[in-house]
Structure 1
Amino acid sequence: MYPAKLKTITAAVALALTASTFIGQSVSAAAANPPATTNSKQEKGTQSTKEQLLREKQQKIEQEAKAAIQGTREALQALRQNDSVKATALLQKVSGELDILLAKHPDLKMIPADVQAQVFDLDSSPEQVEKMVDSADELLDDEKVQDARYILSALVSEIRITTTSIPLGVFPEAIKEAASLSEQGKTDQAAEALSDVLNMLVSTTDVIPLPVLRAEALLTAASELEHKSDLSKQESRADILRLTDAAKQKLKLAEVLGYGDKKDYKPLYQSIDEIKDVIHSEKSAATWNKIKKSLSDFKNKIIHPTK
């Protein structure tokens, strides 16, 4: 029994490595092969969504807040180099930036200062992911937590948008105290105080599942095909069904990866299945709108679960 189990574990770890290496460019084989241009559209759509989310977040960032964090970090570096004169000047400038923010936003408790995006991509099929989850479950049953963690750490496919904010209720006063210590030449105490100040920064992260974004891109491409004049109705119908099947595979991947509530997926699958009965009919536009709205609402529920 032991050699067989060891073989299973080794295969699962190998699968985790393989799955985490690829960058998502292809649609699952189980969904047949959509037109070659669709993969490019998926990735363009993903990049466009990432850029749009970053722009939305960046528009909320106050330049004084960004400058305050940068100045605080530079001051800490100066203190570590025993340059209290430079550190004091930097902290006085930071304090001025914070005074501007407090004047502009007297009732605001948090002010966005920085935003960063990270992409974690997994190109796999729902079936592969289910096998990996089953293998991790077996390892956990055997109390091999670290081996299971190694597999589970690969099971992520998402964009993370992280916003760093300044707590205006405590940050400005803490900066003034650190500046006073620095001005007195108490570099060690000032450095320690600044480290504590930087730990006051608050980070919040929005998670956007890539399989859901790719499903959205596939469905958009499918809806556009219905109106292409250079394809016969039969040809466009076949391509539309391939794209909608591929979109369902992406949603199934999101489901097995644990994004959102499982109960929310069934209505999505049902609404996508409805399109095959109304392609090239008067009901198709309403059905496409229903699909797009359902998917958009689902995506927003995942990104903003508390709203």
Structure 2
Amino acid sequence: MLNWKNNVMALALASLAATPLAAQDTDNDAKATENAAAETQAREQASPAIDEAVAALTETGNALKALEDGKNDEAAAALERAIGKLEVVLTQHPELALAPVDVSSTVVDITASPAVITKARKEALRLMKDDQLQLARPIINNLASEVVVRTTSIPLATYPLALKSAAALVKDGKVDDAKAVLAQGLGTLVVEEVVSPLPLLRAAVLIDHAKALSEKEDRSDEENKTLAGLLDALDLEIAKGEALQYGGKDAFEPLKDEMKEIRKATGDGGFGKGFFDKLSGLFDGLGKSHNEAAGN
């Protein structure tokens, strides 16, 4: 029987072996910068928190604390402020069903090469076919390169009603009932997750840099070297996205074909506009397909 610790260790060692140790710190710094830019890009696509909704949530907490301390008048005042804040939200944003109060994000990024990722994926599939799900699970858990953006929101159809109900209960001296209603209301907060593949996000950043250089006439040797490096980096992101299957079967073939055309167009100092338009469209379409498949 295979040992899952050995499987994970083999994956980690293979990843380290793929890159000389002296180059790893530099690569890690560059990757961290790319990931930060990608994370910012993903967060910008989320709806920002609404200040009045945040204040309403804060006042809910203040009301609960006041009730716990036996300060019913303070609790009632906090609830009135919370209700007022949400009335402002409903007036200013009548189209909203959910009012965002918090946006957070996390980055998960496997550092292994596309070849190592593919090998690990095949090993996980083999283990599952052998009815060894628990041995495959730690491998599968590592097979991701993505930004997860979580948005927490107040449901505007029900949360204001809970606040009003709690306020009425406080007025009637039914403190325990009021606390229960507020706790139940807080339990209705909605958390939505949107997963954005890092290879697609990083590719967009690389395209922006490469596009600027590709349009420049009379590029220097150093600039041509930089452009070639950007194209190599794009090829790597395509390969990584394909290895992690952030797209259906053969979904990455058009991107690889287009990269060949771009290399032809920019080779020997070639320049011009629109070289990356089709590639950008292909990446956008791939990202849209992924989001639809993931239910984002």
If the length of structure 1 is used for normalisation, what is the TM-score?
0.77
- Partners of 1:83 and 1:225 in 2: CA distance: 65
Residue 233 of structure 2: aligned partner: 246
Contact 2:50 2:99 (C-alpha < 8 Å) held by counterparts: yes
C-alpha contact 2:38 2:202 (8 A) present in aligned 1: no
* Structure 2 residue aligned with 1:14: 9
Say which structure, 1 or 2, has more relative contact order (CA 8 Å, 6+ apart): 1
1:265 and 1:292 map into 2 onto residues whose CA distance is 13
CA RMSD of aligned residues (A): 3.5
Question: Structure 1: how far apart are the matches of 2:219 and 2:273?
Answer: 20
Amino acid in the other structure paired with 1:214: R
147, 151, 165: which is aligned to 2:135? 147
Equivalent pair of 1:115/1:164 in contact (CA under 8 Å): yes
Change (3 A) 1:13 1:39: closer
Q: Is the 8 A contact 1:16 1:154 kept in 2?
A: no
Q: Is residue 2:46 matched to residue 1:51?
A: no
Q: 2:248 aligns with which of 243, 261, 277?
A: 261
1:292 counterpart = 2:287: no
CA–CA distance in structure 2, aligned partners of residues 70 and 194 of structure 1? 12
SS at match of 1:147: helix
Tell me, which stretches of 5 or more residues in structure 1 are unaligned? 23-27
The aligned counterpart of 1:25 is none
Report matched runs for 1:58-73 at 5 Å: 60-73=48-61
Match of 1:158 in 2: 146
SS in structure 1 of the partner of residue 246 of structure 2? coil
Shift of 1:151: 2.1
CA deviation vs aligned residue, 1:154-175 (integer Å, no higher than 9, x gap)? 2222112222222221111111
Deviations 1:211-255 (A, max 9, x none): 2222333344444444385633xx765654443233222222122
Going from structure 1 to structure 2, the CA distance change for 1:283 and 1:230 (only over 3 Å counts) comes to closer
Partners of 2:209 and 2:39 lie apart in 1 by 19
- Partner SS, residue 285 of structure 1: coil
Give the match's secondary structure for 2:9.
helix
Residue 207 of structure 1 aligns to a residue whose secondary structure is: strand
CA change 1:238–1:57 in 2 (3 A) is: closer
The residue number in structure 2 matching 1:119 is 107
Structure 2: runs of 5 or more not aligned: none
Instruction: Please list, as runs of the form range in 1=range in 2, the aligned pairs for 1:35-114 lying within 5 A after superposition.
Output: 40=30, 43-55=32-44, 57=46, 60-114=48-102
How many residue pairs get aligned? The number is: 288
Indicate conservation of the 8 Å contact 2:80/2:167, yes or no: yes
- Report the 3-state secondary structure (helix = DSSP H, G, I; strand = E; otherwise coil) of the residue aligned with 1:114: strand
Q: Distance in 1 between matches of 2:135 and 2:168?
A: 50
Write out aligned runs for 1:204-283 (5 A). 204-226=192-214, 227=216, 231-232=220-221, 240-279=227-266, 280=268
